[in-house]
């Protein structure tokens, strides 16, 4: 399995009801940049992420968020995180009051269940309170994808005998599959044939 975790890299300002501190996109990996709201309810967004380099089977998708909700009147305020799935906003999770910043992880695998949805994901946050006292803060935001890479298929028709030997050695240590069915006449050298880095490169790229 492979895990890819990326910080947000863009903020489009589609809705702006929180105060912004520092530089856009505000929720990247810094302590000084953040967004916050105090004494009223409101939404802020939208944040997006770099395109994923992944492919294959999606095992899980999580939105990780570092935030803080003031602890007074704990039953009257919360911070909600929403995710865009390509057709509408879906609830990812809710943060309730605490004493300081903390990381929260929301499983959105059922929401972002395709690579297209993962790459098109947006995040919006909303602060809700029923008392006119309190504050919400947001400081960091990531998208974390756990996936099993697609099996690499290599078609060996036309490879040199050295490359075929390299392929056999490569197959022993990777998930690479030899193609099925008849192959044109090729002389297979020994499995332990010595391979240069150049021959490996020809097979992998």
Q: What is the spatial distance between Cα 176 and Cα 163, in angstroms, rounded to a whole number?
A: 14
Cut 0.75: pTM above it? no
Q: Is residue 99 in some structural domain?
A: yes
Domain span including residue 103: 2-148
Q: Is residue 154 in some structural domain?
A: no
Strand partners, 129: 77
Same domain, yes or no: 33 and 113: yes
C-beta separation of 41 from 127 below 8 A: yes
205 residues of the chain, pLDDT tens digit each: 899 999 999 999 999 999 999 999 999 999 899 999 987 789 999 999 999 999 999 999 999 999 988 865 555 678 899 999 999 999 999 988 787 899 999 999 999 999 999 999 999 999 987 666 678 899 999 999 999 998 765 555 555 666 666 666 655 554 444 444 444 333 333 333 445 544 444 444 3
Q: How many domains is the chain partitioned into structurally?
A: 2
Same domain, yes or no: 87 and 181: no
Same domain, yes or no: 25 and 53: yes
Same domain, yes or no: 123 and 72: yes
* Residue 168 φ then ψ, to 5°: -65, -40
Residue 62 is part of a domain; what is its CATH number? 2.60.120
Q: Is residue 86 in some structural domain?
A: yes
Q: For position 126, what pLDDT does the model report? A: 94
Q: Is residue 141 in some structural domain?
A: yes
Q: For position 188, what pLDDT does the model report? A: 35
Q: Is residue 153 in some structural domain?
A: no
Q: For position 189, what pLDDT does the model report? A: 37
Q: Using only the alpha carbons of the chain, give its radius of gyration.
A: 24
Q: For position 192, what pLDDT does the model report? A: 36
In degrees, to the nearest 5, what angle opens at C-alpha 186 toward C-alphas 182 and 189? Answer: 120
**DSSP 8-state code for residue 51:** P
């Amino acid at each position: 399995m492979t895990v890819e975790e990326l910080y947000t890299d863009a903020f489009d300002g589609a809705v702006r009801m929180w105060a912004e501190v520092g530089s856009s996109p505000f929720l990247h990996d810094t302590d000084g940049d953040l967004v916050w709201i105090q004494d009223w309810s409101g939404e802020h967004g939208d944040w997006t992420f770099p395109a994923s380099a992944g492919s294959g089977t999606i095992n899980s998708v999580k939105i990780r968020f570092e935030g803080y909700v003031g602890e007074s009147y704990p039953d009257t305020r919360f911070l909600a995180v929403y995710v865009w799935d390509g057709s509408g906003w879906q609830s990812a999770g809710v943060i309730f009051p605490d004493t300081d910043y903390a990381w929260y992880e929301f499983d959105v695998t059922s929401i972002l269940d395709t690579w297209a949805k993962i790459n098109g994901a947006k995040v919006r946050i909303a602060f809700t309170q029923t008392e006119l006292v309190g504050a919400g803060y947001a400081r960091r935001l990531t998208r974390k994808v756990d996936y099993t890479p697609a099996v690499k298929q290599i078609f060996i028709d036309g490879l040199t005998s050295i490359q075929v030997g390299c392929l056999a050695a490569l197959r022993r240590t990777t998930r690479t599959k030899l193609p099925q069915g008849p192959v044109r006449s090729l002389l297979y050298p020994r499995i332990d044939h010595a391979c240069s880095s150049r021959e490996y490169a020809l097979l992998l790229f």
